[in-house]
Structure formats: C-alpha cells, structure tokens
Amino acid sequence: MRERSQPGLRDSDRGRFKLRERSQPGPRDSKRRCLLAAVLLLACGSSGGEPFSYPLAAVGAGAGPFPVGDWQVTLTRAEVAIGPIYLCATAAASPDLCDVALGEFTEVAVVDALAPVAEIGELHARPGEPRSAMLDYGISWFTTQSRPEALATLGHSARLTGTAVRDGASLSFDALVDVVPPLRGSPALVGVRAHSEFQDEGSRLELRLDPRAWLTGVDFDALAASGLVHSINPGDPAHAAIAFAMTTQPPSFRWTHD
C-alpha cells in the first residue's frame, strides 16, 4: 500500500487552519454568550461528523474548433487522467496546510474531456466547507517512491489529438502529456480554487475540463515549420506549453446539491 504525506480522513487529525464553525452573534458582553462559548469549548473533541460519499463527474468543453493565434484547432481526442484528488478546508492547499482532507478521490480515472459529462466515481468526504483542492493528473510521486509513477492505464496525464488549420494548410498532432509532481510527497497541483459552503450526501461535484485552453500556448507556427504531422512528447516545446497550461489552468470545481 502506498503512503504519502498527504491528507487522510482521520478524525484525530487537525490541519493548521481549523474548520470554520461560526456561532450565531449575540448581544455584547452577554453572560449567556460566554456560557455558550464555554459549553462549545467543552464540547471540543467530539466527532467531526460521519464520513459519506457523493458523485464525482467530469464535464468536457467540446471539440471546437477554436482559435490559437492564426490557427483554427479542432480536437478529435482528449483523454485526461485525473486523480488522486484531495479537498482541503484551507483556501491555500499544500501538504503542510492540508493535513486532513475534507474529501478525497484516491483513484485515477481517465475521462473523455470532449464529452459533455463523464461520471468518474464516488468522492469520500466528511462534513465541512471545502475551500481548495490538490490533485494529480494520473502521475503521482508518493513518499515511498523513488520517482513519479503513472497510475492510469493511459500511461500519461493526457492524450490530446487533433488538427490545426490555417490558410488551407492542415497540421495534425498527437500529444502525450506528462504533468509530473515537482516534489516527492507533493501533488502536481496545489491550491486549486475549489469552494463549496458545505457538502453532504446530496452533493455532486463536477470538474470542468477545458483542454482547448491547454493548447493556447502551443506555437503552431513553429510546428508547421518542421512538418505537418507531429507527435508531441515530453521534452518538446509544445509539450512544455501544454503541461504548463494544465498546471496553471486546472479543472474548475463546481458543486450542486439536492
């Protein structure tokens, strides 16, 4: 079993930043308010709530076409490996600030990022207010590993295939993208904005993936200068552009509640 210096759902743990549990305002200098505060203090140590699960899905952006500079790009394939995912109670998620996950999806799913909706699985959670997320794109680097490892059948973080057209010229590309965690024990992405005021058994989380945005940094002019058929792999400038964009333009998190 893999171990990682990352969140768990243990009741006994507490992160650097506590869960926000506001009491109702009361009259200033009220003995009753102090008594309530005292009772609440004495109640510390009780259970933080029973774990539960709710559905996790991916929402794609569609194939396009979309402009990148002078080029019109159309994706025909966009497979993205996503997971593990951790939801944190702090707005700034990092392994040192997110000792306890408010939710986690510990598997890796390969989703079709062109499909309108793809069900991913169940997210295991506990009551609270998620305010950020950490995640990998299918390549993780746990503390027990000497090097990062692809955990999905895809073998990479993403595979993006398509064409770019300009002035009658058509360029085809097939990109195998690896987004590798920068440090052992740390996810590839930390501090991803992800906020819901609550989560419960009736919640549903949708991750909106936009692979089109990940291609906007690709220099199609430079690619065209060296041919019209391209396999993009780690080490290529186009790969660096895509992997960078996957890091800085992560999935957006959107909750709905029954």
Partner 1 sequence: MRSTIATLLILLAACETSIGSVQVFIEAEDTIPEGLQAGSGEEQVVDGWSVRYDKFLVVVGDFTAERSDNGNDILTVPGARVVDLLHLQAGGLVLAEFSEVAAVRWDEVAYSLPDADADTKAAEGTAAADHDLMVKAGYSVYFEGEISKPDGESCDHGEPVTCTPAPTIRFRWGLAAGTRFSDCAPPSGGLGFAVPSGGTAQVKPTVHGDHWFFTTLTQGAEITQRRAQWIADADLDRDGETTLAELKQVPAAVAFPAELGYNLSGAIIPIVTAHDYVEAQARTLGDFQGEGECPTRDPL
Residues that bind partner 1 (CB under 8 A): 16-18, 20-29, 31, 33-35, 37-38, 40-42, 90-94, 96-97, 131-132, 180, 182, 188-193, 213, 216-217, 237, 240-241, 243-245, 247-250
Cβ closest to partner 1, residue 154 vs residue 241: 241
Which residue's CB is nearer to partner 1, number 164 or number 241?
241
Residue closer to partner 1 by CB (options 1, 41) is 41
Annotate 185-227 with DSSP letters as a single string: TS-SEEEEE---S---TTEEEEEE--HHHHTTT--HHHHHHT-
Nearer residue to partner 1 within complex by CB, 109 or 245:
245
CB of 187 to partner 1, least distance (A): 8
CB of 141 to partner 1, least distance (A): 12
Of 188 and 209, CB closest to partner 1:
188
- Contacts for 34 with CB less than 8 Å, ≥ 6 apart: none
Task: Report the nearest approach of partner 1 to the CB of residue 149 (Å).
Answer: 17
120, β-bridge pairs: none
Q: Residue holding tokens 């076409």? A: 65
Q: Which residue has the tokens 């309530």?
A: 36
Query: In the complex with partner 1, which residue's Cβ is closer, 7 or 250?
Result: 250
Give the DSSP letter string of 83-113.
B-EEEESSSS--TTT-SBEEEEE-S-EEEET
Q: Tell me which residue has tokens 């990109």.
A: 175
Q: Which of 38, 51, 62 is nearest to 8 (CA)?
A: 51
- Shortest separation between residue 84's beta carbon and partner 1, angstroms: 15
Nearer to partner 1, 63 or 213 (CB): 213
Provide, rounded to whole angstroms, the least separation between the CB of residue 145 and partner 1: 18
Token pair listed for 146:
């000497």
Min separation Cβ 90 and partner 1, Å: 6
How far apart, in Å, are the Cα atoms of 217 and each of 159, 165, 174, 238, 247?
A: 16, 16, 16, 8, 12
For residue 243, the minimal CB distance to partner 1 (Å) is: 7
The answer to whether 175 touches 73, Cβ cutoff 8 Å, is no
